[in-house]
Amino acid sequence: MPPKHTPTSAEGYDLILVGAGSASCLIASRLSQKLPDHRILVLEAGEHIRNDPKVQTPGLSATLQSDPTYDWQYVTAPEPGLNNRRVKHPRGKLVGGTSAINSHSVVFPNYEWHDRIARELLSDLGRTDWSAQGMKDCYRRWQHEGSESRVNNDVGSLDRVQTSYPRTMDVLRLQWIKAFEELGHATSTTGFTESSAGAVTVTNAVDSSIGERSHAGTAFLEPALKRGNVTLKTGIKVEQILFDEVLTADGRLNARGIRYTSQGDQHLITAREVILCAGVFGSPTILERSGIGLRHILSAANIPILYELPGVGENLQDHLNCSLACETRDGVPTRDEALRSPEVRKATSLEYERSRTGPLSEGAAYSFAFTPLQMLEKPSETEELIEKVERWVEGESDPKLRAQYSVIQSTIESPSEATATTFMLRTQRHRDADSVPPNTPPFVDGNYVTVVAMLAHPFSRGSCHISSDPSHEAEISFNYLSHPLDVEILARHLVLIERLFQQPAFSAITKPKARRLPRSFPYPISSLEDAKNILPINAATNYHPCGTCSMMREDLGGVVDERLRVYGTKNVRVCDASVLPIIPRGNILTAVYAFAEKAVEIICKEVEGSP
């Protein structure tokens, strides 16, 4: 139908940011200060939810991730590697995006990851900017750590997310550190640094001065909106990017604006540049609806092809994890009572309301470890795996995948780099509901310590594309555990957890012959085959999807170049989790913020260099 409203020239913008998620909020904040003469429009499909106790309270993050008020509730197609389970993928339905509903843990990539991406996947023009050295300041600028002085000449004037360590180090947190010290791996340095194996106590995105969540919406966008050159529109569905009919002199598409729907009516709005920050599922599908993507996907949806770009919507990755739990000795405090007891939950809520203290004032996980398999494997076991990986990489017929796989291969061969990021939960955890009898109680008796292995760099790849039926949502498939090496490596990490449980530090806090979880396999793991059998029933997502608009060379399947510009276009960029070409070792939000900081550097340099 024809647009209801055609904007006048006064309604044009210098820059449109599509989406008000983690990256977009940061970009709007920085550009509102650095380019005060630029008019910036932020279009968000969700709402701007302010001063909401559910969002503000760190300990309530799990309740947000199933509530349609806050969560877009994406669901995958049946995943064969997980016994055909459909996997829910929460994404934030509000300003701040998923940073406003996630579980807070702040885990950084390592130098080696950045250097390999820059060296192996980018053109010469991007290698310096995107190297570890070129990214150091980007990882520093976006946050303020609670232990740091707020007076900082470099970044004191910048809007920043507040992060903090746990207020207390209880028995389980201390024993976590001790267990790795017993293995000869003293506490590693947290933050963006070179890899080293061992345990870390990480920060969470919590402002400890007030006991509240700190997210991109509050930290970045709200201050930007007060500066006068940023406009926010919510409840907006962006249909497509509009391009000039005539190509530029060098044969590229020139975006002239956006078509969007608001309250059922279509609108057009113009801009000099468009940045897609709609997320790993949103950004590729907007490109596809705009005529950029895989030929057969666009043809099936009757969309004219403006630029054939096969990487759009491909290369989808996620951190799959699997956990084992062990019953703790009497007197070792966990959070299991709060799971089972309404009275305990009420008391916890009252404490938080009174003083912003207690369990609800903190995130769920602070105790992490970067775990190479070499940490607890025999040398012969690791050598066997390295040989398997080498055969798979050499035998990969697709040069695009082989380039990525060789990056992962280097990580596996390194004794200091994590093949899994492992973390501890001070409570029981269940991911095997489909494998136990109906009406099984959600929680078991007893108190538990749970150790979770999160596969750092999976080999499996999935996709996210528009449906041929425009009334349907995006079609999402991760193909979890479809690559045999993922099964092999994650199963080995379950064996590593079992060996960790045998260390003196864990023996001191767990019962002799302790009860075990998952419920569907309540026994110690005695073989690699045991571990492989647990994966389909107890593996789960860590909610870290990325990769669908990867920053790589176009010949390797990339969608954006080292300037984050979409191939074939003059003035369309993407900046969100979709541009991460290979998933980093831990929670991806730190990388998303850092990539957004780099995007700001790039944009400002181009503005300074323009006539």
Q: Residue 468 falls within a domain, yes or no?
A: no
Same domain, 237 and 385: no
Q: Residue 2 falls within a domain, yes or no?
A: no
Same domain, 266 and 330: no
CA–CA dist 576, 578 (Å, integer): 5
Same domain, 74 and 206: no
Buried b (16+ CB within 10 A) or exposed e, 169-197: eebbbebbbbbbeebebebbebbbeebbb
Same domain, 359 and 444: yes
CA–CA dist 499, 479 (Å, integer): 29
What ranges make up the beta strands (E) of 310-412?
A: 320-327, 367-371
Q: Residue 471 falls within a domain, yes or no?
A: no
Same domain, 249 and 152: yes
* pLDDT at site 611: 62
**Domain boundary, last residue among 492, 524, 541:** 541
Q: Can you tell me which residue has the tokens 């005695």?
A: 526
User: How many other CB atoms are found less than 10 A from the CB of residue 295?
Assistant: 11
Same domain, 371 and 488: yes
* pLDDT at site 332: 95
The answer to whether 187 is a known ligand-binding residue is: no
Same domain, 345 and 233: no
Q: Residue 246 falls within a domain, yes or no?
A: yes
CB 89 within 8 A of CB 476: yes
Same domain, 586 and 497: no
Cis peptide before 518 (omega within 30 of 0): yes
Tell me the residue length of the chain: 611
- CA 286, 400, 305, 126 dihedral sign is positive
* pLDDT at site 187: 75
CATH number at residue 124: 3.50.50.60
Q: Can you tell me which residue has the tokens 């973390």?
A: 423
SS (H, E, C) 403-462: HHHHHHHHHHHCCCCCCEEEEEECCCCCCCHHHCCCCCCCCCCCCEEEEEEEECCCCCCE
Same domain, 196 and 109: no
- Over its C-alpha atoms, the chain yields an Rg (Å, rounded) of 24
Mean pLDDT, consecutive 10-residue stretches, the chain (611 aa), reads 40 94 98 97 97 96 95 97 97 98 97 98 96 98 78 64 95 95 84 94 96 98 97 97 97 97 93 98 98 97 97 98 97 93 95 95 96 94 96 96 97 96 96 92 95 98 93 91 98 97 96 95 95 97 98 98 98 98 97 98 91 62
By DSSP bridging, strand 212-213 and strand 105-106 are unpaired
User: How many other CB atoms are found less than 10 A from the CB of residue 526?
Assistant: 10
The answer to whether 344 is a known ligand-binding residue is: no
CA–CA dist 237, 21 (Å, integer): 14
Query: Which helix (H) or strand (E) segment is 470 a member of?
Result: none
Q: Widest CA span of the chain, in angstroms?
A: 75
- Please give the single-letter amino acid code of residue 454: M
* pLDDT at site 4: 41
Query: What predicted TM-score, i.e. pTM, was given to this entire model?
Result: 0.96
CATH number at residue 344: 3.30.560.10
Q: Residue 3 falls within a domain, yes or no?
A: no
Q: Residue 339 falls within a domain, yes or no?
A: yes
Q: Measure the CA angle with vertex 196, ends 191 and 198; round to 5°.
A: 90
User: How many other CB atoms are found less than 10 A from the CB of residue 350?
Assistant: 12
Burial class (CB in 10 A: 0-12, 13-18, 19+), 9: exposed
* pLDDT at site 1: 38
Same domain, 518 and 410: yes
Q: Residue 358 falls within a domain, yes or no?
A: yes
Torsion of CA 352, 206, 421, 451, to 10 degrees: -10
Token pair for residue 237?
Answer: 């569905």
**Domain boundary, last residue among 495, 523, 541:** 541
| Residue 28 structural domain | 9-164+212-317+544-609
User: How many other CB atoms are found less than 10 A from the CB of residue 49?
Assistant: 18
If phi over 0 gives left and psi between -120 and 50 gives alpha, with beta otherwise, what is residue 186?
Answer: beta
Same domain, 124 and 219: yes
Counted domains in the chain? 2
Q: Residue 467 falls within a domain, yes or no?
A: no
**Helix, strand, or coil (residue 279):** helix
Number of Cα atoms under 13 Å in the Cβ half of residue 126 = 24
Same domain, 563 and 580: yes
* pLDDT at site 6: 43
**Domain boundary, last residue among 507, 541, 575:** 541
- DSSP letter at 43 equals E
